[in-house]
Amino acid sequence: MSQDSVSNADPTLTPALDADLDFLSGLHEQVLTEGGGADLVQVLAALVQACAESGASDDGSRAQAIVASLDHDTTARLTRAVTVHLHLTNLAEERLRSRSLRVEDGEFTGGVDAGGVGEAITALSDEVDVSARLQELRVHPVLTAHPTEARRRAVTGALTRIAAQLDRYDDPHNGPAEQAVARRRLLENIDILARTSTLRSTQPEPRDEVKTMLTVFDHTLFRAIPRLYRSVEAALPAADPGRAAPHVPAFLRFGSWVGGDRDGNPHVTAAVTRETMAQQAEQALAQLHATVERIARTMTMDLLWTPPSDALLASLAVDAVALPEAFAKFAKDSPDEPHRQKMLVIAARVAATRAQRADLTYHEPAEMITDLRLVQDSLVAAGDERTARGELQHLIWLVETFGFHLAELEVRQHSAVHEAALTELLGQLGDPALDPARAAQDIEVLDRLATQGWPRTVVPTTQRTQEVLDTIRVMAWLQQRWGTSCCGRYIVSFTRNAADLAAVRALARLAVGDAPMRLDVVPLFETGADLANAVSILASWSQLASTQAWLDSGQARAVEVMVGYSDSAKDVGPASATLTLDRAERELVAWAREARVQLTLFHGRGGSLGRGGGPLHRAILAQPSGSVDGRFKVTEQGEVIFARYADVMIAQRHLERLTSAVLLTDAPELAAQREAAAARYADLGRIIDTQSRGCYRALVQAPGFADLIAEVSPLDEIGELRLGSRPARRSGATSGRSLDDLRAIPWVFSWAQTRVNLPGWYGLGSGLAAVDDVALLREAYASWPLFAAMIDVAEMSLAKTDRGIAQQYLALGRRPDLAEQILTEYDLSMRLVLAVLDQRELLERKPHLHTTIRLRMPYVNALSHLQLRALRMLRHPHDPRTGDRPDEQAWRRILLLTVNGAAAGLQNTG
């Protein structure tokens, strides 16, 4: 399994990554050999070599011959070995990313586009008031459940231990004896990893997903966030970090759908949502308590040298009465140290908040911040700016960012669920002239119910409707317990009209009456048609009395609108979806300006290239002017969460790039250039939109196409991987032949497994061909950020496609007409993308990404050949090539193992 034949031939491979991979591969080979797998090592080497040497014109016959000679037991063992190697490859690359701090989404870049906050502030300083821009800044990542994170936590844990021992082995301060210990521990943990099942034995529950999400905050974000704010502070002109008062507000807020997203997931209930927030609050308060106590232990300044302010002394006098026993102990243990005494009081009150002791609890984070600033101001008045602006400032930033609830828990539900609940409830009004089904879509009826209330006789008669009402009641209860910021957004997926939005407030009036609660209704526009109708829907909704009352109740007339990348791309194709989203966002910005509302666009991006994935920094810079305006909210999910937040330094860098892009997007000069380019190439965009959409729709609407994807991919088997608690289909069916019912995630995941990657590029070639002017397309790529981002995403997607392997998958569907249609569009897209980029091969100008993909491809291709063997055994068991009827259970397990391994190798698969 040496890397020599695969990766060392690439001169762009960094020496550090090269060394790590050679070392880890050697250890893995030793583990396999010691376990009696010397023969397996030889087979693996031969298979990888065959895959590495196969080219575009190669039919993969050598690799196929090797795979065809294996029994199912050897095939399973080989699959596991390849998967372990890919996990170790990912680990080595993560170490490289952490070292470099110049990597985002797998590509090194330079200049302002590299995303450093310093570069962004320098670029802005001549045009705008940077300090004022920072005060208005709001960056809001929203973590969702992990339906595409195929790794078990046991696998992640083993990789974490391996990384720690690799750091120990590489530490130049350690001598030979310590290195020997680290090498032994590496062998031990690689052996554990090789023997750990990569498949989950049970379906994850929402509670499991909550635990996984919380580890991101616990292990990474609580450390990364203060570092981020410090990096922004240091970039400001005339900054004196750690001494002068920082001009950087806590501009980050985190959201979460884990435990709140019930769209198509019957396992997320009101009880789960309540329990989720309890866990989040426990995590936040535990972290804050530990931080306060740690800082308190360091504040040993004597009052003689650091005299307390009068305000601090007055506060301590009150504390002595409020908690006499505890304060007496603090005074005894910390005599003449008033600042430390106050910090210990704060720690005691945080502990009381955590234990729900009403006498000492902080009722909201603002009370704790007031106490912390009291200590800070006292230190400044005493001349101790260093202590005041050091770790204490970090703590203030943490409370401002996370509050007591960690992340705002957002509720999401499908519009059809609300409509069904309303139909049930309206049927009890007893009005013979009222058709309940029609009234459930009548905005005037719904608005009247929202503002005037329901008759007391109306009660839910089904569990489904009861659950809808209980969800709203839980939101109100959580706000009473943890503040209005903890759970106030309600997202309506598949918003088709204004009634879908009015429905939520009508249901809320029945659920909680006129009791006060924060309820921000957020429309989610996902399909091409819904995006096109977004402005007319919002215009009708905003005129309702219930909506106007909500808008006027806040400090700003603020509206949040979510745009979905996943289903829009699945609906009209990747190129048309990109252009449709851009057009919809421009219309939404114009509407918000006319309606005098503050608009925040919420971008529902997935991790895969077919669901809005790709370099996030460049995607933000391509947004239409006014659509960001200092506020950016985006989903982060699946394997992308671990890629961006598993390491503190990588998390800091990702958030730094995100911040710099949000700051830069509406900079006057950049915005003027972007809008001029958008106007100049508007006709080109319309041509690409029309032609690519037509090409894509012609394929997905072709008779039998839904059967094709199910036959040629592991689509129906993906549910057995137990990736998440949510069913793959909205109806909950385990299989079927309806693309409408199929979620975007398994749709993209399945195409990635087949190495076709259709959702990332299909239709683009026809769109580019319709323009019929390569020079114009190159000009657009150089000056129109939206078009450049579209081409770059397609380039990455095509780079992970393998035509020869894809052809073998498509042959399983026994629809040569559809296979030819797909491959013809692939050839066209490949040719024209290269022409636009003026390159001979993909990723020619992205050396790091080119290297990392080439590094993995022989191993991913090996898994693809193994998966093809398993699919043939299961799909066509009586094929003459397969011999007798196979052991279906054994080959199904092999199929799942290959899916898991390929996901690790391809990475952004969903």
Give the residue numbers marked as catalytic: 146, 570
SS3 541: helix
SS3 384: coil
Name the helix (H) or strand (E) containing 521: strand 520-525
SS3 159: helix
SS3 143: strand
Cite the DSSP H helix spans in 196-237.
Answer: 206-216, 222-235
Tokens of 6: 């695969």
CA neighbor of 3 nearest in space, from 64, 52, 58 = 52
Tokens of 728: 């793959």
**β-bridge partners, 522:** 491
Tokens of 482: 């943890």
Alpha-carbon span 659 to 120, nearest angstrom: 9
Alpha-carbon span 101 to 652, nearest angstrom: 9
First to last CA, the chain: 29
The amino acid that residue 529 corresponds to is A
Tokens of 178: 């310590």
Cα angle, residue 164 at apex, residues 161 and 169 outer, rounded to 5°: 125
φ/ψ of residue 139, rounded to 5: -115, 130
Burial class of residue 473 in the structure, from the number of CB atoms within 10 Å of its CB (0-12 exposed, 13-18 middle, 19+ buried): middle
Burial class of residue 218 in the structure, from the number of CB atoms within 10 Å of its CB (0-12 exposed, 13-18 middle, 19+ buried): middle
CA neighbor of 618 nearest in space, from 795, 830, 486 = 795
Alpha-carbon span 701 to 671, nearest angstrom: 39
Alpha-carbon span 701 to 692, nearest angstrom: 14
CA neighbor of 506 nearest in space, from 602, 439, 562, 438 = 439
CA neighbor of 491 nearest in space, from 401, 596, 408, 581 = 408
Are the beta carbons of 885 and 878 closer than 8 angstroms?
yes
DSSP state of 308: P
Tokens of 100: 């470099």
- Give me the sheet containing 411-414, strands edge to edge: 408-409, 255-256, 138-143, 631-636, 598-604, 558-564, 520-525, 489-493, 411-414
C-alpha gyration radius of the chain: 29
Place of tokens 């608005």: 447
DSSP assignment string, 525-537: E-SHHHHHTHHHH
Cα angle, residue 461 at apex, residues 456 and 462 outer, rounded to 5°: 140
Can you give the length of the chain in residues?
910
**β-bridge partners, 520:** 489
CA neighbor of 350 nearest in space, from 291, 279, 280, 275 = 291
**Per-residue burial over 359-384, b = 16 or more CB atoms within 10 Å of its CB, e = otherwise:** ebbbeebeebbebbebbbebbebbeb
Are the beta carbons of 494 and 501 closer than 8 angstroms?
no
SS3 391: helix
